[in-house]
């Protein structure tokens, strides 16, 4: 569908311009142009105007040429994954509210679990590189027994740390993982005695 046709139909559906728009009940997070080949070729449905307003698709086309307008929806589950403390308002019947609350709290717990598993995996990667021979299980147990979290705050000096300027005079910020490693260098003490590894957090 061309941009002008989408705009026409949107204005026809809501002349006021005040209704919420959605894609399969998910809010629209962003709209932007990009090359047709980016993130997979553009799929176009070929329509027969004579068949409107009924099913009018008579063919299809796949193209990597030109530019497309990308509409990205984002549902509440996705938003929760990005922000585990995301507040949610409910404006629906009491039974529906209870169902939705239970569903989204389960989603919240699952997203926290996944984020911690990913963070623990990064710590294992860091430890294996810095301390060859240490077991993944030892690092895993340390992470959870120490109540570490993906949400652990990063010290201000590390959070805003800048790398030395390059030959072009540009100043770069280390990646999130690189800054976490700097934090772990500072906060985690590792000892090995007769093949027994001990990890502890510095106070």
Provide the CB-side half-sphere exposure for 150 (13 A, CA).
16
| Nearest Cα to Cα of residue 115 among 88, 76, 152 | 152
Between CA 119 and CA 140 the distance in angstroms is 10
Phi, psi of 31 (to 5 degrees): -135, 130
State residue 203's pLDDT score.
75
Instruction: Encode pLDDT of 107-154 as tens digits.
Output: 999 999 999 999 999 999 999 999 999 999 999 999 999 999 999 999
State residue 111's pLDDT score.
95
Count of C-beta atoms within a 10 Å radius of residue 113: 10
Rounded to two decimals, what is the model's pTM? 0.77
Q: Give the β-pairing of 42-47 and 57-63.
A: antiparallel
Verify cis geometry, omega within 30 degrees of 0, for the bond prior to 83: no
Domain map of the chain by residue range? 1-74, 108-201
* Chain centroid offset of residue 55 CA: 36
Instruction: Encode pLDDT of 8-42 as tens digits.
Output: 999 999 999 999 999 999 999 999 999 999 999 99
| Nearest Cα to Cα of residue 120 among 157, 159, 153, 147 | 147
Between CA 203 and CA 201 the distance in angstroms is 6
């Amino acid at each position: 569908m061309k941009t002008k046709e989408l705009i026409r139909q949107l204005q026809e559906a809501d002349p006021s311009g005040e209704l919420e728009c959605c894609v399969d009940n998910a809010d629209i997070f962003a709209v932007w142009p990009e090359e047709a080949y980016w993130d997979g070729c553009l799929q176009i449905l070929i329509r027969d105007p004579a068949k409107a307003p009924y099913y009018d698709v008579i063919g299809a086309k796949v193209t990597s040429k030109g530019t497309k307008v990308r509409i990205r929806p984002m549902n509440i589950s996705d938003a929760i994954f990005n922000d585990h403390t995301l507040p949610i308002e409910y404006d629906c019947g009491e039974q529906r509210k209870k169902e939705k609350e239970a569903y989204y709290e389960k989603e919240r717990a699952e997203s926290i679990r996944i984020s911690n598993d990913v963070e623990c995996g990064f710590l294992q990667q860091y430890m294996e590189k810095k301390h060859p021979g240490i077991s993944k299980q030892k690092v895993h147990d340390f992470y959870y027994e120490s109540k570490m979290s993906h949400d652990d705050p990063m010290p201000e000096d590390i959070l805003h740390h800048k790398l030395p300027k390059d030959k072009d005079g540009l100043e770069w910020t280390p990646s999130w993982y690189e800054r976490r490693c700097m934090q772990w260098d500072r906060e985690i003490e590792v000892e090995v005695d007769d093949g027994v590894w001990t990890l502890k957090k510095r106070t």
